[in-house]
Structure 1
């Protein structure tokens, strides 16, 4: 373990420890990280020598030059001014920003705590690593409830390594969260190009300004994502507000995104807020199931030969009606070559079972999937949680089975009914009505009681199952009564 890693971890722990103090001020965990982002951007701009993006008189030293009530009043005004800053990236980070702190002494504690960090070590290890460590701490602390915004880093890094994004490729995350997939893809490319030095000047500039596209629906989360990307060197279009757009990929915004060579994403679980249907008119099937709409966006948003790795809940694999039609279209348009059944406990905030679908967009629009390889990493596995951490080592057997070809074309061995990796032909899947919820191992695993889901997680899982059952019941009722599908249920 490197000294820099230890120093970064210690700095993250120091920042997070201030949260206990701020809770006394009524500050929630999510607001706490947002508050830290607003302050850390100022401090990191100073440490990185990039304060020219900030207006004069609105920088870190201007804040620390004041104390008490004067500092608190200045900070409130500072947030308003930065939300109107000439620099579009600064303006995007501070758009509608306001402090959740109620007492000047708590601002003092935050500012003093930030100043007391070992900033020399932080610069040596990379300011982005410090910030991403804070996001991870926020997500893995169950009391914060931020797990829905954060995909486990071992999973992200593994998916990126398998998909192998390359310089010059357009890389997209239509549900960007805090930007983890885009950051990991950029780090992957940097590590293989000597920090982009092996690229020409034009290619390197394109990589940091044009290669990455993300969309995030929640303004506070987009703020975190913009900060995360900037600290890792992802600048976004010149003169723009950054690589992560604020908006809804299930609206016209998503339809206008450029075709991507790589899509890596973990779309949010559940139905569209308010029960309405997404407003995309360019997709074949309309449904209130957000995951099915995201899946259509992804496979239709890939350029020919483009590849994707997508985290999706179990209901996408087995849901009838529109669900079956979407899966059939996916296997026609793309080579759905691999499906990974993930163990439980990775997304505690939702309490649902998840999978990763790996596919490549075909050069033609029919018959692209010849077989699907299914890896069961769920049966006879522990429920990952506080006492059983999920690591890259957990995924190593799957990585070895997947092989080195990003399109899933490496030689593979069907391990049979007693193994975890099996091959199912397109004909076999058709007989199952394209139901991909395939399990063959008897699950006799023992789970640590302390890592079992709490009542809120179980309630969330039940809610997802009930929503899926209700959609299936509605489809069956229409079939039995001969009623036409709802207007927009299926478009030509």
Structure 2
């Protein structure tokens, strides 16, 4: 009988492939086929995900002995795609996508496939010759299960990053890519261990969960399949996130889906129970859409502290309310949520009272390419209002990285850029008591917090000691694009008003 060691030793040349080499192979195929000009990089990446799933599923079904695994797709699916062409290939792939994309409670082994293939659109019928070449030349001749998991996962992550422009164009759902190195830093700051259960309520392409999983794996030993879970309202993001997490974590294709398509704001049901059965979340990392003009469905949210809030503010109160006591959170927020009046102020006041909001990280201006927005990360621990009425927040530390002036393209972030922040944050050590103020790191003590709470606006637009930077350092193209975006948002808002009048 074959052993795992035998399988590793018998790996072919694919076992030596690198992430960059795999990514370049896919990128070269896309860019050197003139007939694919009508296909977006995002659509091409989706089909890479489909083919990888089907090919790996086929290879695992061909194993012998204890390593054999019944296929998720119907038997013979991959060979039939290899042999088909033209209309036959289009028909075969369309039928396969439709079958795998249907939820099937009677077959829980297909749960992940139903997320990956849900509402999937097949390759354009007039470009099936290129799809045939992609299958026959780039996938079928190779044993993809021999490729090292970390290399294959990183290659797929690089392919997603190459879709930056296409993802940024999905403005209706407020999608953009969070720099992976920043999420790695956040995972370290939260001191995530294999005992944690990490949730992302607006998971995007799954980078936050991958960073959390890697931090868990760094402790050694096996990481439980239920350790990470996420949801997103965008079916395309759910698809990419599912494959991204599968490839980067080694999660089994027949497992419980790591990603669900869901509107996280739609119900007051405990957040984590919607993602993983009866497993309590201990950590949340979330970068919600920074959309101020999106109306979330909050009709059933009588638990909310405030109604008619912006989308990011709604995510903030949703997480603070639904997380179990003691859970640790890192939530990205635009500047406006820190100082706007009305519902935002109500949410901030309740947050300070019911959670220990201990750290505010002010991120570099323009870090999210093409948004021009100023963003932050709020670190807090879910708590309760104290019996004597005192707020759960005793002191709040502000770390200001605004003057770093990074973007995700021309001057991307690295972990080293936040080494000083991690050292100041002191994850897993003596906590706030061991922190020291510096030019970037300022402490707001109990009296300061009380003053903030008693002020009319409860503003958290707090500074460190460094001089506030000016926007003239921001790329002019980002400023111009931001203006265009805001004009578009304003136009859509006025159209709603006009429609209601007529």
Match of 1:16 among 27, 32, 35: 27
Residue 73 of structure 1 corresponds to 91
Match of 1:174 among 190, 201, 206: 201
TM-fit CA distance, 1:409 = 2.6
Q: What TM-score, normalized by structure 2, do the two folds share?
A: 0.79
Q: Secondary structure at the match of 1:106?
A: helix
1:353-410 alpha-carbon deviations (Å, 9 max, x no partner):
110111112255542211111111003x224243212111111111111113379435
Report how many residues are paired.
449
1:161-210 alpha-carbon deviations (Å, 9 max, x no partner):
110222333321111112222222122212213344xxxxxxxxxx21x3
Following the alignment from structure 1 to structure 2, what is the Cα–Cα distance between the partners of residues 463 and 400? Answer: 42
Residue 315 of structure 1 corresponds to 336
1:55-104 alpha-carbon deviations (Å, 9 max, x no partner):
34453233112234432332222222322474222223212222142321
Which stretch shows the higher mean deviation, 308-317 or 120-129? 120-129
Match of 2:50 among 30, 38, 41: 38
Following the alignment from structure 2 to structure 1, what is the Cα–Cα distance between the partners of residues 300 and 468? Answer: 41
Residue 363 of structure 2 corresponds to 342
**Inter-CA distance 454–317: structure 2 relative to 1 (3 Å threshold):** closer
Match of 1:428 among 448, 470, 484: 448
Match of 1:303 among 324, 330, 350: 324
TM-fit CA distance, 1:116 = 6.6
Following the alignment from structure 2 to structure 1, what is the Cα–Cα distance between the partners of residues 491 and 430? Answer: 35
Following the alignment from structure 1 to structure 2, what is the Cα–Cα distance between the partners of residues 23 and 274? Answer: 39
TM-fit CA distance, 1:11 = 1.0
Which stretch shows the higher mean deviation, 299-308 or 105-114? 105-114
**Inter-CA distance 165–225: structure 2 relative to 1 (3 Å threshold):** same
Following the alignment from structure 1 to structure 2, what is the Cα–Cα distance between the partners of residues 153 and 460? Answer: 25
Residue 72 of structure 2 corresponds to 54
8 Å contact kept, 2:296–2:311: no
Residue 114 of structure 2 corresponds to 91
1:126-149 alpha-carbon deviations (Å, 9 max, x no partner):
53333223222323x578647924
Residue 478 of structure 1 corresponds to none
Following the alignment from structure 1 to structure 2, what is the Cα–Cα distance between the partners of residues 53 and 89? Answer: 13
Following the alignment from structure 1 to structure 2, what is the Cα–Cα distance between the partners of residues 109 and 179? Answer: 29
- Provide structure 1 residue ranges, at least 5 long, that are not aligned to the other structure: 197-206, 468-492
Which stretch shows the higher mean deviation, 141-150 or 299-308? 141-150
1:282 aligns with 2:298: no
Counterpart mapping for 1:134-283 below 5 A? 134-139=159-164, 145=169, 148-196=175-223, 207-208=224-225, 210-233=226-249, 240=256, 242-252=257-267, 255=270, 257-258=272-273, 259-271=280-292, 273-274=294-295, 277=298, 279-283=300-304
**Inter-CA distance 237–81: structure 2 relative to 1 (3 Å threshold):** closer
Q: Secondary structure at the match of 2:434?
A: coil
TM-fit CA distance, 1:228 = 2.2
Q: What TM-score, normalized by structure 1, do the two folds share?
A: 0.80
Match of 1:382 among 405, 418, 433: 405
